[in-house]
Amino acid sequence: MDQHIVEEIKANLDIVDLLSGYVELKRAGKNYKALCPFHAEKTPSFIVSPEKQIFHCFGCGAGGDVFTFLQRYEGLSFPEAVRALAERAGVKITRDSFSASGPGRLRKTLIGIHRDALTFYREALGRERRATEYLKRRGLSEEMIERFEIGFAPFGGGLLDFLRKKGYSDAHILTAGLCKETSGGKVDAFRGRVIFPIINVRGEVIAFGARSIGDDARGPKYLNSPETPIFKKSSELFGINLAKGEIRKKGYALLMEGYLDVITAHQYGIENAVAPLGTALTEGQAKRLKPLTEKLLLVFDSDSSGVRASKRALSMLYEKGFIARVLSLPEGDDPDTFLRREGREAFVGMFREVKGLVDFYIEHGGERVDTARELIYIISKVKDGILRSDLIRELSEKTGLSEQFLREELLLLRRETGPPMGAMQGGAPRLSAEMLLLGLYITYPEYAPVVKEGISPEDIEDERVRRIFEKLYSSSAASLKELTSGLEEQEMSVVSGSTIGLEIDAEEVVRNIKDCIRSIRSRRLRKRLKDLELEIRLAEKRGQSETVSELQGRMNILIKEGVDEGIL
């Protein structure tokens, strides 16, 4: 990526103007406040700094600049966010703007191929009576057929020639997965099938799902495009482009199993429904939903495979910070059949019977202790301490097992697995000495030599902060804008959290820097002394007198250094 392009985009865009199109910002002193768009909250903890052109949420830890915001909110990659913001900023991106200009051009070509292919499929639908009759039998309205841009792949093919006439090479059409090589030559990948375009959160056609329309059709009932440079099945959700607004509005998403489930749900006014692409819900798909909501309602089949899918999804979702419920439809039903037979009111009425994590596992589990241990393992992965506590209390009430026993089991598991890497501290904007020092270094770069003289990255215990200091010490970045361009999303959150609320009088900066350095070095020294003390005890038990003397000598030297430096 050409760094000058990134800087030009930032110079032409104001973060307050951009974010005001997504959240309701209210002035709060020098900054702006809003309810965080990345997690549910009632009290605003989402802060935007016009001076530093960054945002940070002290509730969930999300933070960064305009690029980070768009990546999280729209589920975009960094290059995609750059392209989108360049258009808003009026910055022209040339072929040489991206270091990976070849892949960039390929992506644009593949997106064009898919959009033109959809035009072909849409026109073909109107000419094929069997396809339109099939859609009518499935109860789909003309409005839904138009809205979801449903098409048809002719029995005799024709797409390959159509795309060739549009100027696309056979190599690009093959890469797009829309034709394939056979012993008889190249042929269309989809023939004689209703076509459901798979459209990403930005509204780009990136793949197709295809369903046979006859019971006597050869081959599988459903086919998907193969994975391509623009399509990873495990990272996309059907209907996300149409559902994203309603998901944000309602505060939760419905996850269904099939394309027709989603389309029928939308037809009946349930427009926050999406579906995985013929597979179990994946972490990549959950990540797509995270910027939109952290609350999900799973509406999978009630058979044994549906129960297993729901259990796998619940386990993964709670670990990833979601709260999920399960709606079990009558056996033999799916959302499509139930809605067409019973209607919207009956479907929505069943929301009163949804099962949470604990209830669902107990209902579909075995012996209560085994079920409890399975649930404790899942709960141990939950990052939110209050939610963990609530789930343990509920588990105790529902199983009759002692809450103390359950908490002891939970504590044992969390000790074994340790805290999640990169977990943010609580919602309060109180900074550790390491975070404060980082904020001071970035906010007052003129005092960087004082920091470098007093501390090295090896002295920093927090791995996230240490990585950023390593980049800072080896970087020539002269401003916060330049620095943030080279950071990963998690690192951006750390930077925004350490700087956004930092207000220190100029004459107090050096004193604060030295206090932070003293605190960090003191903690590190005390930890080293404790480690030596333990080694000495072990050596004494083994009767290793020479080792004891050597270790005591090292301890005495460290104590003297600490006293001389005033950190002990």
Given a cut of 90, whether residue 341 has pLDDT beyond it is yes
DSSP result, 387-421: HHHHHHHHHHHHH---HHHHHHHHHHHHHHH-SPT
How do strand 185-188 and strand 179-182 relate by DSSP bridges? antiparallel
pLDDT at res. 428: 38
The whole-angstrom separation of Cα 236 and Cα 196 is 14
**% of the chain exceeding 90 in pLDDT:** 38
Name the DSSP letter for residue 294. S
The whole-angstrom separation of Cα 452 and Cα 460 is 12
Read off the pLDDT band of 305 (50, 70, 90).
Answer: confident
For residue 378, what are the contacts with CB-CB under 8 A and spacing of at least 6? 314, 315, 318, 319, 357
For residue 485, what are the contacts with CB-CB under 8 A and spacing of at least 6? 3, 6, 7
CATH topology for the 240-417 domain: Dna Topoisomerase Vi A Subunit; Chain: A, domain 2 (3.40.1360)
The whole-angstrom separation of Cα 457 and Cα 462 is 10
The whole-angstrom separation of Cα 519 and Cα 455 is 11
Nearest Cα to Cα of residue 349 among 290, 416, 286, 270: 270
Greater confidence (95 vs 372) lies with 372
Structure tokens at 356: 């949470």
pLDDT at res. 83: 85
How do strand 253-256 and strand 273-274 relate by DSSP bridges? parallel
Burial class from Cβ neighbours inside 10 Å (0-12, 13-18, 19+) for residue 448 reads middle
Torsion angle of the four alpha carbons 509, 511, 516, 518, in this order, in degrees rounded to the nearest 10: 160
Average pLDDT over residues 170-196: 93
pLDDT at res. 476: 62
**Window from 142-146, 186-190, 281-285, 413-417 with minimum mean pLDDT:** 413-417
CA neighbours within 13 Å on the CB side: how many for 156?
A: 6
Neighbours of 149 (CB within 10 A): 17
The single residue listed with the structure tokens 């057929």 is 145
With contact defined as beta carbons under 8 Å apart, do 498 and 436 qualify?
Answer: yes
Strand, helix or coil for residue 542: coil
* Intra-chain end-to-end CA distance of the chain, in Å: 48
Average pLDDT over residues 241-265: 93
Query: pLDDT of 103-157, one tens digit each?
Result: 567 888 999 999 999 999 999 999 999 999 999 999 999 999 999 999 999 998 8
The whole-angstrom separation of Cα 233 and Cα 404 is 43
Query: pLDDT of 32-43, one tens digit each?
Result: 999 998 887 788
Burial class from Cβ neighbours inside 10 Å (0-12, 13-18, 19+) for residue 324 reads buried
CA neighbours within 13 Å on the CB side: how many for 530?
A: 6
Given a cut of 50, whether residue 426 has pLDDT beyond it is no
Given a cut of 70, whether residue 418 has pLDDT beyond it is no
Given a cut of 80, whether residue 391 has pLDDT beyond it is yes
- What backbone torsions phi and psi does residue 224 show, to the nearest 5 degrees? -120, 155
Given a cut of 70, whether residue 218 has pLDDT beyond it is no
Given a cut of 50, whether residue 349 has pLDDT beyond it is yes
Read off the pLDDT band of 100 (50, 70, 90).
Answer: very low
CA angle, corner 129, sides to 174 and 153, nearest 5?
5
**Window from 97-101, 343-347, 451-455 with minimum mean pLDDT:** 97-101
- What backbone torsions phi and psi does residue 296 show, to the nearest 5 degrees? -130, 145
How do strand 253-256 and strand 295-299 relate by DSSP bridges? parallel
How do strand 54-57 and strand 46-49 relate by DSSP bridges? antiparallel
Superfamily designation of domain 101-231:
DNA primase, catalytic core, N-terminal domain (3.90.980.10)
CATH topology for the 3-89 domain: DNA Primase; Chain A (3.90.580)
Average pLDDT over residues 374-383: 89
pLDDT at res. 532: 82
The single residue listed with the structure tokens 């009088």 is 505
With contact defined as beta carbons under 8 Å apart, do 250 and 272 qualify?
Answer: yes
Greater confidence (423 vs 173) lies with 173
Average pLDDT over residues 207-215: 87
3-state secondary structure 318-362: HHCCCEEEECCCCCCCCHHHHHHHHCHHHHHHHHHHCECHHHHHH
The whole-angstrom separation of Cα 216 and Cα 92 is 53
Task: For the chain, give every domain's residue range.
Answer: 3-89, 101-231, 240-417, 520-565
Average pLDDT over residues 220-249: 91
The whole-angstrom separation of Cα 134 and Cα 348 is 27
Average pLDDT over residues 342-352: 94
pLDDT at res. 415: 58
> Mean pLDDT for the chain?
85
Given a cut of 80, whether residue 73 has pLDDT beyond it is yes
